[in-house]
Amino acid sequence: MPLYDQFLEGSVVALSKIISHIENQGDGYQEVLSRLYRKSGNIYRIGMTGPPGAGKSSLVNRLAALFAEQSRKIAIICIDPSSPFTGGAVLGDRLRMQDIPRDKGVFIRSMGSRGSTGGLASATSNVTVALDAFGFDTVFIETVGVGQMELDIIDACDTVVVTLVPESGDAIQALKAGLMEIADVFAINKADRQGADRMVYDVQSALEIRTERSEWPIPIVATQAVNNMNIEELAAGIEGHRKYLETSGSLAKKRGLQLRKKIEGIILRSIRRDLDTTVLSGSVLDDIVANIMQGEEDPYTAGRKLYERFKIGS
Amino acid sequence: MPLYDQFLEGSVVALSKIISHIENQGDGYQEVLSRLYRKSGNIYRIGMTGPPGAGKSSLVNRLAALFAEQSRKIAIICIDPSSPFTGGAVLGDRLRMQDIPRDKGVFIRSMGSRGSTGGLASATSNVTVALDAFGFDTVFIETVGVGQMELDIIDACDTVVVTLVPESGDAIQALKAGLMEIADVFAINKADRQGADRMVYDVQSALEIRTERSEWPIPIVATQAVNNMNIEELAAGIEGHRKYLETSGSLAKKRGLQLRKKIEGIILRSIRRDLDTTVLSGSVLDDIVANIMQGEEDPYTAGRKLYERFKIGS
């Protein structure tokens, strides 16, 4: 496998090709993943999320540049949202390429969510395995918003940074809606704008009234990505969380849960594929649908019957 | 089953209880659905989507009031988005209750997407069956944004209205991103604002350069929900699309596809439940995860092996 040899020798072109192969689920991609997995185990995954326009890309840029200066090998995965209403990601992605010094070897990969129904989280996780095997020690995974798909992606990260801006509106509202549970570090970006102090205060207050607390005191860092302000403080927050996870044993626990989910996903997708090529293709289902439309059956009963015929272990 | 008798007698309280039972997947809910399905078949499902703040709720209000005046029995399902960044839905929902005359018998139900991972589309579809059996002839299904979950919900509708406002930014960009494929009717709301004419023109232009066209000429209606302007035109667009679907045979085809998806979903969720209570619970998976974390296996190989043991028909 000459491509894999090139990969092992550090060819970024080979890495890109292997990532595409995995993304497209090309022939034998699972064997490739098994092989890559055995070379992996060092990468640290930092999830970056928040509303559109909060400046996540700029923050990732700054953090990546800072970490790269410390001789860390950095990769960035940008998830292009499927929602047409969150725009800007594609352009931001192109623009950012200019911000990071080329000689730092930062690797950037975009992943689209269109067409990969339900599988984007597993695709992202698989790409991370390839980056890990290639030798990157840190990956930023950037995603807009917190829909179910995004939550699945974020679940696969070690440290999650939630970026808000003073303009985001009611911080408490946003927090109530679910950010509280996923944030390990808050960045209040564009902190030169009016309302930034208030935003920090609101987030702080919201954190204090949480009922479920971990022992990790979530830092809230007021940043200005464009002016490169407090990026080191934000990095310190991330590193602090990492140390907390490592020393408390939470990292091993977290990774165990992530592995369970990964295995679950592999099994479910395999079964799904079997269903597609058996029960759900061909004329069996056509006949059933025709029966239902003629009022001779209902889909719930039909679904149960089909399931009984094809269920696990039957 | 006294509750079901009350339901048949037209008790809205009984309807609400049955909907909750279905939503919570209470004991025997599938049998309830089978029973309800046999009494269904008349409801028409109108999906309303678009960016936050476009005025979808107000438009639904106006349309519902108009249809109710025509002695149609109207229900509204509001999907509360899981994303904390789209806010406003909850408040909008409360406010709207005041707008629709109480004596018109419009039934409004909110459904949250939190906690119903992946199942919101099927839950929405199931609730629609209950509304159908109860005697409603039209249901509006309102959802913010077009993430995967929203697309699944919209897929289960007959006619989809996409609402944009002049402020939405680049219409062409939004259209490119996926609205083109799902819209049967466009509403350009808040049409008194600057840029509305331009917006209509942009959408029109974008529609003209489509490669895949159906025979249905997608209407673009400039509306002002707050001023009750052009609501009848919008309703005519929806009714026109319905007639097109009915006379062209597309409605039957569409419903056939929806039924297939429904059955697929029922089978997959049943299998998922089996997996949860067998392979994925207990110590089998714990041992495997421990092995992987000690570097003795990889999750891809482990997943394949488990799948081989438990796959359909094995």
End-to-end CA distance of chain A: 40
Q: Which residue of B has its CA nearest to A175?
A: B84
pLDDT digits (tens, 9 = 90+) for A99-130: 565 666 899 988 875 444 447 788 899 999 99
Q: Read out DSSP for B155-208?
A: HT-SEEEEEE-GGG--HHHHIIIIIHHH-SEEEE-STTSTTHHHHHHHHHHHHH
A93 and A136 co-located in one domain: yes
The partner residue sitting opposite B311, judged by closest CB among A81, A178, A271, is A271
A15 and A92 co-located in one domain: no
If one counts the domains in chain A, the total is 3
B223 and B273 co-located in one domain: no
Cα separation, A230 vs A227, whole angstroms: 9
- Residues of chain A neighbouring B297 (CB-CB closer than 8 A): none
Average pLDDT over residues B58-82: 89
The partner residue sitting opposite A275, judged by closest CB among B37, B118, B268, is B268
B188 and B240 co-located in one domain: yes
Q: Is residue B280 over pLDDT 80? A: no
- Residues of chain B neighbouring A275 (CB-CB closer than 8 A): 264, 267-268, 271, 312
Q: Read out DSSP for A132-177?
A: HHHT--EEEEEEES--HHHHHHHHT-SEEEEEE-GGG--HHHHIII
Q: Letter for the amino acid at B262? A: K
Q: What is the pLDDT of residue B87?
A: 38
Q: What is the pLDDT of residue A169?
A: 59
Cα separation, A29 vs A1, whole angstroms: 13
Q: Is residue B95 over pLDDT 50? A: no
Q: What is the pLDDT of residue A312?
A: 57
- Residues of chain B neighbouring A169 (CB-CB closer than 8 A): 87
How close A262 comes to chain B (CA, Å)? 7
Residue A270 lies in a domain: no
- List Cα–Cα distances, A27 to A121, A127, A187, in angstroms: 20, 16, 42
The partner residue sitting opposite B259, judged by closest CB among A175, A279, A299, is A299
Residue A273 lies in a domain: no
Quick one: pLDDT band at residue B169, thresholds 50, 70, 90?
low
Residue A77 lies in a domain: yes
How close B149 comes to chain A (CA, Å)? 8
Q: Is residue B83 over pLDDT 90? A: no
A131 and A84 co-located in one domain: yes
Cα separation, A40 vs A132, whole angstroms: 5
Selected for mutation to probe chain B from A298, A306, A308 (highest B CB count within 10 Å) is A298
- Residues of chain A neighbouring B259 (CB-CB closer than 8 A): 289, 292-293, 299
Cα separation, B190 vs B162, whole angstroms: 14
Point out the least confidently predicted range of A169-178, B15-24, B255-264.
Answer: A169-178
B50 and B162 co-located in one domain: yes
Percent of chain B residues past pLDDT 90, beyond the cut: 48
| B271 with A271: Cβ contact below 8 A | yes
Q: Could you list the residue range(s) of the whole structural domain that residue A11 is in?
A: 1-39
Residue A152 lies in a domain: yes
| B83 with A34: Cβ contact below 8 A | no
Residue A271 lies in a domain: no
| B84 with A272: Cβ contact below 8 A | no
Of the ranges B6-15, B30-39, B70-79, B235-244, which is most confident? B235-244
A151 and A251 co-located in one domain: yes
Quick one: pLDDT band at residue B12, thresholds 50, 70, 90?
very high
Q: Is residue B93 over pLDDT 80? A: no
- Residues of chain B neighbouring A122 (CB-CB closer than 8 A): none
Of the ranges A109-123, B70-84, B114-128, which is most confident? B70-84
| A299 with B169: Cβ contact below 8 A | no
Angle formed at CA A273 by CA A271 and CA A276, multiple of 5 degrees: 110
B242 and B274 co-located in one domain: no
B245 and B269 co-located in one domain: no
Q: Is residue B41 over pLDDT 80? A: yes
- Residues of chain B neighbouring A82 (CB-CB closer than 8 A): 146-148, 151, 178
Cα separation, B87 vs A120, whole angstroms: 25
| A267 with B175: Cβ contact below 8 A | no
Helix axes B231-248, B56-69, angle to 10 degrees: 70
B146 and B86 co-located in one domain: yes
A53 and A24 co-located in one domain: no
Q: What is the pLDDT of residue B244?
A: 97
Per-10-residue mean pLDDT, chain A, length 314: 89 94 89 94 93 86 94 90 43 48 77 60 92 97 74 88 79 63 91 89 81 83 94 98 96 92 86 79 86 92 86 56
| B175 with A313: Cβ contact below 8 A | no
β-partners of residue B80 are B112
pLDDT digits (tens, 9 = 90+) for B214-231: 789 999 999 999 999 999
Residue B27 lies in a domain: no
Q: What is the pLDDT of residue B102?
A: 60
**Residue B162's CATH number:** 3.40.50.300
Residue A268 lies in a domain: no
B62 and B167 co-located in one domain: yes
Higher pLDDT, B14 or B104: B14
| B52 with A85: Cβ contact below 8 A | yes
Best CA proximity match to B165, nearest among B51, B313, B23: B51
Average pLDDT over residues B62-67: 94
Of the ranges A147-156, B106-115, B172-181, B267-276, which is most confident? B267-276
Q: What is the pLDDT of residue B84?
A: 42
Q: What is the pLDDT of residue B208?
A: 81
pTM beyond cutoff 0.90: no
Residue B257 lies in a domain: no
